[in-house]
Structure 1
Amino acid sequence: MMKMKLGLLYGGKSAEHQVSLQTAKAVIKALDLTKYEVHPIYITEDGEWVRGEQLHSPVDDVKTLRLNDNGKKVSPTSLNSEIFPAAENERGEGKFDVVFPLLHGPNGEDGTVQGLLELLNIPYVGNGVLSSSAGMDKVMMKNIYEQAGISQPAYVWYLRGEWEKNAEAAYEKVEEKLGYPCFVKPANLGSSVGISKAEDRESLAEAFRVAFEYDRKIIIEEGIDGREVEIAVLGNDEPECSVVGEIVPEAGFYDYKAKYEDGSTGLIIPAEITEDEFARIKEVAVQSFKAIDCSGLVRADFFLTKDGGVLMNEINTMPGFTPFSMFPMLWQKSGLEYPQLIEKLVQLGVERFEEKQKIKHTF
C-alpha cells in the first residue's frame, strides 16, 4: 500500500510563528509514518518558503524545524514540481495527496495560503478561504455573527489612523459603550498575542498602543463576568462537537504565557455544566461553524454568564495542537485520540476537495 504524500506547512510570517513550530512538532510526533510520507515545508519569518528532506522520525527540538540552513528555497506556486523530481511528476505519482497548513495568524490562517492551494488545486486540511479570512478578522467575524443573531459581548473597533487622529475620542467611546474592565485585541491575530485587559483610562491607552503594534485594526470587547468555556467542532457539512472544557486562569486572563509556556492555567475537561448549557453551547457552536462556511475544524470559545446566558466569544479556525492546547484535549476526552484526530482531519480535507471537483467550471 502506497503511503499518502503529506506536506506540512508551518512557521509563517506572523507573530504566532513560534506557536506554529510547536504545533508542527506535536503533529509530526502524532503522525503514523508507516501511512504518511511527510514532507516539511517551512515558511520563514520573512515569508520565504523552504523545503526539507522527507521526515522518517519525530522531531525532538523545534529548532530543527527551522530549515533556513538545511533546506532548499522553493516557490509557493511550484509546490509539487519543486518538492518532487520531475520524472515522478510526469507519472503523476509525485504530487501531494494533501497539504496540512499548521499556520497560525496572518499570512497562513487568514485565507492567504488557502487561496494559493485552491489555485494550485491541491487538497488541504482545514478551513477554506472565506471561513479562514472571516474567522481571522475578529471584527468581520463578530459582524457576521451579529447578523446571524448569535449573542456575543458588546464591542467597538478602531483603525490605527482614527486613533492617531483623536485618541481621546476613542477612549471616551470605549468608556461610554463598554466601560471597565474591557479587553483590547489586535483584530487579526490569535494565541492571545497583543491582548491586554484595561481597568482604567491609563491602562486603556497602553492597551491600544500594544494592540496597534500587531495590527492596523483593533477590537475592544466588554469584560464579561462569567466562566470561560470552549468546545471543539469537527466535520464538513455535518459537524460534530466534543465535550466542553472550562478555562480557569490563575492570572487575570488566559494569556500567551499561560497557553504555551508555563501551563499555569487550570483546565477542567469535561466542564461542570448542565445538560441544557451543553446543548445550547453545541447548538451555537454549530451555528457559528456554518455561518462562515467552516470545514474541517474549529474551536469555539464562549462565556457562561451567572444568569445562565451563553455568549459567543470567538472561533479559531486553526487552533493550536501543542501539549497545552484545548482542541486535541477536548477530543481526547470525547474518545478521539490524537493520532486518530489527525487522520480524521486529513480525511475531511480530502473529502472536501473531492466534493469541490464536482463543480462545473464551463458553461
Structure 2
Amino acid sequence: MKKRIGLLYGGKSAEHEVSLSTACAVTGALNFEEYEVYPIFITLDGEWRRGKRLVKPASTIEELQFGDDAIILENNITNFLIDDNGKAVQFDVIFPLLHGTNGEDGTVQGLLEVLNLPYVGNGVLASSAGMDKVIMKQLFEIAGLPQVPYMYFIRSEWANEQEAILARCEKTLTWPMFVKPANLGSSVGISKASNREELTKAIEVALQFDRKIVVEQGIVAREIELGVLGNDFPEVSVPGEIKPMTDFYDYDSKYKDGSTVLIIPAELSTEVVADLTDYAKRAFKILDGSGLVRADFFVTANNEVYINEVNTMPGFTPVSMYPLLWQHTNVNYPELINRLIELAIERYEGKQQLHYKKD
C-alpha cells in the first residue's frame, strides 16, 4: 500500500515564501507511485487550507496556494484529517515544511504530538530550543561547544535602557557586530553593524521580527555547514563552505540573487573535519534532535572552530545547502526524503512503546 503523506507548508511567518519554495521542491522529489500526497497550506494570516490530493509534482509555487476549490479549515484545523470524500484519513506521516515562527519553533510539532501523528523532523523540545538562539547558545555552553561572544536583551529593556545596552555592547564586544532576531532563520532581520549608529538601526530592524535580540561578536572566518541525519545514531555529511559575494550571507544571497558560491566538500584538514563532525553530533544530541539538522560553523585562518547555530528545519529549495551536502555524501534528493520519512516512522513507533498508566 502507498504511504499517505500530508505536506504541511506556508505558515504565519516571515519565512512563508521559503516554505512555499521548499514544498514545491519536495513534491518534485516524492515518488507518487509510492506515496499518496495531500497538500495542507497555511496562509500568511494563519488560515489552514487543504487542497485536493496531488497526483504529480507541483509545477509552480502558485499551484500550492490553491484556488476556489480549496477546503478552508477555519472552524476546526484538524479537518485536514478528512479526505476529499469526507472520510477520515489515516496519515502515515505529516511532513512539516514550515520555516520560522509558528511552524519550526515547536508549536506545530506540539499539535501533531497531541493528535498522535507521526511527523518528519525534530520534536517540540529540539524545535523550540533550536529556534530560540539564546536558549540554543546556552545549551551549547552546557555541551562545551566553542562559540563567539554574544549578548542578548528583550524589547522592553531596549525601550527603557537603550543607552546602557549600547554601552554594554561596546564594552563586551568589538566591531563589527551582527544583530539577529532570536527566533527567526533564513537570515531574516539580520544586519551587520560597524558603529553605534548602525548598531542602533540594526536593533530597530531586528525588533520588527522578534521581542528578543541577539548581538554577536563579528569574526573573520570561513562559514562552514554540515548536515545531520538520523535519530539516536545520527550521521553527518561532508562539510560545505559558503562564500557570499555580498557583505554577509543574507536573505537575498540565500534565496534570490544567487550571489553565493557553495563549495562542497569544503577544503579543510582532516583534524578540522573531525572537530566539525564531533561538534555537529554533540549539538544534535544536546537538543535531543531527531530527523535532521543543519549545523553552521565558523572556521578561522588558525583552524579554530566555533559553532554558530543549528537549523532544525533547513530549506529544501534547489539552492539549499542541506540537500546539496547529502548529495555530495552519496544520498540523493529523493533518497533523502525517503530516509526522513522512515526516521519519522521509527521515532513514532518508539513513542508508542511508552506507558502512560501504572500497571
Shorter-chain TM-score bucket reads over 0.9
Q: Is the 8 A contact 1:50 1:68 kept in 2?
A: no
1:117 aligns with 2:112: yes
**Structure 1 residues 19 and 306, CA gap change in structure 2 (3 angstroms):** same
**What residue is the counterpart of 1:343 in the other structure?**
338
1:282 aligns with 2:277: yes
**Structure 1 residues 174 and 69, CA gap change in structure 2 (3 angstroms):** farther
- 1:133 counterpart (98, 114, 128): 128
Superposition pairs for residues 1-363 of structure 1, below 5 Å?
Answer: 2-67=1-66, 69-74=68-73, 75-80=76-81, 82-83=82-83, 85=85, 88-89=87-88, 94-363=89-358
- Taking structure 1 as the reference length, the TM-score comes to 0.96
Give per-residue Cα distances to partners, 1:242-298, cap 9 Å, x unaligned.
Answer: 000000111110000010011110110000001111111000000000001000000
For residue 358 of structure 1, what is the amino acid of its counterpart? Answer: Q
- What is the total number of aligned residue pairs between the two structures? 356
For residue 78 of structure 2, what is the amino acid of its counterpart? Answer: T
Deviation of the 1:79 alpha carbon: 3.2
SS class of match (1:243): coil
Q: Is the 8 A contact 2:293 2:310 kept in 1?
A: yes
For residue 143 of structure 2, what is the amino acid of its counterpart? Answer: A
SS class of match (1:21): helix
Question: Following the alignment from structure 1 to structure 2, what is the Cα–Cα distance between the partners of residues 172 and 324?
Answer: 40
Question: Following the alignment from structure 1 to structure 2, what is the Cα–Cα distance between the partners of residues 84 and 145?
Answer: 46
Give per-residue Cα distances to partners, 1:72-131, cap 9 Å, x unaligned.
Answer: 112333432x33645x53xxxx31111000000000000000000000000000000000
Question: Following the alignment from structure 1 to structure 2, what is the Cα–Cα distance between the partners of residues 151 and 254?
Answer: 21
Gaps of 5+ in 1: none
SS class of match (2:239): strand
**Structure 1 residues 354 and 84, CA gap change in structure 2 (3 angstroms):** farther
Q: Output the aligned Cα RMSD.
A: 1.0
Identity %: 56
Question: Following the alignment from structure 2 to structure 1, what is the Cα–Cα distance between the partners of residues 124 and 77?
Answer: 17
Give per-residue Cα distances to partners, 1:292-339, cap 9 Å, x unaligned.
Answer: 100000000000012221100000000000111000000000100000
Deviation of the 1:169 alpha carbon: 1.1
For residue 123 of structure 1, what is the amino acid of its counterpart? Answer: P
Give per-residue Cα distances to partners, 1:45-85, cap 9 Å, x unaligned.
Answer: 111110000011111210121136331112333432x3364
Which of 23-32 and 167-176 deviates more?
167-176
Q: Is the 8 A contact 2:5 2:37 kept in 1?
A: yes
SS class of match (2:237): strand
Give per-residue Cα distances to partners, 1:113-166, cap 9 Å, x unaligned.
Answer: 000000000000000000000000001100111122111111101100100112
Question: Following the alignment from structure 2 to structure 1, what is the Cα–Cα distance between the partners of residues 300 and 356?
Answer: 48
For residue 231 of structure 1, what is the amino acid of its counterpart? Answer: L
For residue 247 of structure 1, what is the amino acid of its counterpart? Answer: I
- Taking structure 2 as the reference length, the TM-score comes to 0.97
List structure 1 segments (4+ residues) > 3 angstroms apart after TM superposition. Answer: 83-86
Gaps of 5+ in 2: none
